Amino acid sequence: MATKIVIVGGGAAGMSAAAKARRTDPTLDIVVYERSGYVSYGACGFPYAIKGEIARVEDVVVRTPAQFAKQGIQAHVGHEVLAVDAAAQTLRVRELASGTECAVAWDELVLTAGGAPSRPPLPGIDLPGVFVLRTVEDALAIRNWVEQQRPAHGVIIGGGYIGLEMAEALAAHGISLTLVERLPQVVASLDPEMAAHVQTELEQQGVTVRLEQAVEGLTGDDRVRAVLVGGATIPAAIVIMAVGIRPSATLAHAAGVALGPTGAIAVDDHQRTNVPHIWAAGDVAEAHHLVTGRPAWVPLGTTANKQGRVLGENLGGGDVRFGGIVGTVVVKVFDLEAASSGLSEGQAQTEGFAVQTVSATAGSRAHYMPGHQPIHVKLVYDATTRRLLGGQLVGREGVSKRIDTIAAALHARWTVDELAELDLSYAPPFSPVWDPILVAANLAKR
């Protein structure tokens, strides 16, 4: 009988694993259970679908269950896995529409349930008009609310990536926005002086930014009407809760699967958990961080896809490893691009490095080319070994892929001096003769 693979969660990690396992071993019996109504979608596209830049929310769906069926992958949407019995190698699953429950046996179990948005127990959090953004259904609900209710005022709670992207998305609908953040800065992965550029952009685009303020509650009647923050009442006909996500690891934990120090599932470099025949990948799992040398939880679509692929190949009898992450992220905030890779100064200090930093501002193009924009660069390195620990870039163009040079340098474990030697591309429309990264690295050399 064919080996039966059961995959819990049909997001990027789960469906990458399914597709790769299928290609690697055509004899496998592959079944996916997904709680929401969709599998295999580019969740990072939701803010642009809500903004209206993408015509329909469903356009971010890569493949449907019907398309997976043609590949011999059974993807069941609307199915929630309730419990896993690791010893018996079974699980209990409920079809949400009918309420039907049944037991399913598996030979290999893949945990790719992703993460769930935090919903702090605030008064009024369940009022209509208060949203989180994680699933296609969430995105559809927000877009419908925006189009049907035409809110004049909105509040975004949380200044992370989703919060920032949603600010751009809702502002495009003419919604007057307030962004509330508990920390003294937006984008926690950036150091404060770099995050300040992002805050300035938000404010220049008309978003009111309230830092170091906690939301006390939400008020309304048949819908949300206002958000209570620091004694003030901010009118809001739409509220986005974007205070972060947590790994959906409860089911795994109950089944005896070990979680790591981050609270996500601990995996080895083959995506195996501590329990034989149980695997994990994506936002529910940790990843080896190449800068700290320790497990980290940096839930990102790229890592989910890569880990899923590695997992799938190993399921199919392969022997491949996931090399690890350096934590490269980029976010578009209105007309600004903000990117980082590796550790911020603050993170590096927390990790116990002897931190040194260098900052520079240089042009995105040659100084004589019209349209050139400043790019702010910050490099973080170890004062003793001079090893590069991280980099941050903020600017109006040329940031998103420039950060990849920092990412490569972190993979290579280069010193900041080695970074300064790179033979980077130059043409006046694309870069000054000294690329901003080289300008910063050269300053560190002194």
Closest contact distance (angstroms) between CB of 392 and its own copies is 12
Looking at residues 45 to 84 of the shown chain, list those that interact with its own copies (rule: CB under 8 A): 45, 48-49, 53-54, 59-60, 62
User: Which residue type does 249 have?
Assistant: A
Q: Annotated catalytic residue: which of 24, 29, 37, 44?
A: 44
- Least Å from the CB of residue 24 to its own copies: 11
Residue among 44 and 125 whose Cβ is closer to its own copies: 44
For residues 300-339, which are near its own copies according to CB under 8 A?
300-303, 305-306, 323-332, 337, 339
Residue closer to its own copies (CB basis): 124 or 312: 312
Q: Please return the burial class of 390, using the count of CB atoms within 10 Å of its CB with bins 0-12, 13-18 and 19+.
A: buried
- Comparing CB distances to its own copies, the nearer of 89 and 112 is 112
Region from 39-47, 137-145, 172-180, 250-258 binding its own copies, contact rule CB under 8 A:
39-47
Active site residue 102: no
For position 198 contacting its own copies by CB under 8 A, the verdict is: no
Bridge partners (DSSP) listed for residue 92 = 83, 103
Nearer to its own copies, 225 or 402 (CB): 402
| Closer CB to its own copies, 127 or 320, in the complex | 320
CB closer to its own copies, 219 vs 262: 262
CA distance 391 to 409: 10
Cα 101 to Cα 89: distance, rounded to the nearest angstrom: 17
Helix (H), strand (E) at residue 378: strand 374-382
Closest to its own copies by CB, 32 or 407 = 407
Compute the distance between CA of residue 161 and CA of residue 188 in angstroms, rounded to an integer. 9
Q: What is the C-alpha to C-alpha distance for residues 186 and 177, in angstroms, rounded to an integer?
A: 15
Binding mask 396-425 for its own copies (x = CB under 8 A): --x-xxxxxx-xxxxxx-x---x--xxxxx
For residue 429, state whether it binds its own copies (rule: CB under 8 A). yes
CB-side neighbour CA atoms (13 Å) of 320: 18
Is residue 125 a contact residue for its own copies (CB under 8 A)?
no
User: Strand, helix or coil at 28?
Assistant: coil
Q: What is the DSSP string of 306-329?
A: HHHHHHHHHHTT-------B---E
Q: Is 369 in the site for its own copies (CB under 8 A)?
A: yes
Distance CA 276, CA 375 (A): 49
Q: Which of 151, 173, 195 minimizes the C-alpha distance to 339?
A: 195
Min. distance of Cβ 139 from its own copies in angstroms?
12
**What separation in angstroms does the CA of 110 have from each of 6, 215, 284, 324, 355?**
6, 37, 11, 19, 39
Distance CA 249, CA 236 (A): 33
DSSP secondary structure letters along 265-283: BP--TTSB-SSTTEEE-GG
Cα angle 260-282-165, degrees, rounded to a multiple of 5: 110
- Least Å distance between CB 52 and its own copies? 10
Q: How far is the CB of 179 from its own copies (least distance, A)?
A: 19
Residues that bind its own copies (rule: CB under 8 A) add up to a total of: 65
Q: Cβ 288 to its own copies, closest distance in Å?
A: 11
The verdict on 362 binding its own copies (CB under 8 A) reads no
CB under 8 A: which stretch of 41-49, 79-87, 101-109, 111-119 binds its own copies?
Answer: 41-49
Contact residues: its own copies, CB under 8 A: 12, 42, 44-45, 48-49, 53-54, 59-60, 62, 290, 300-303, 305-306, 323-332, 337, 339, 341, 366-370, 398, 400-405, 407-412, 414, 418, 421-431, 433-435
Positions marked active-site: 44
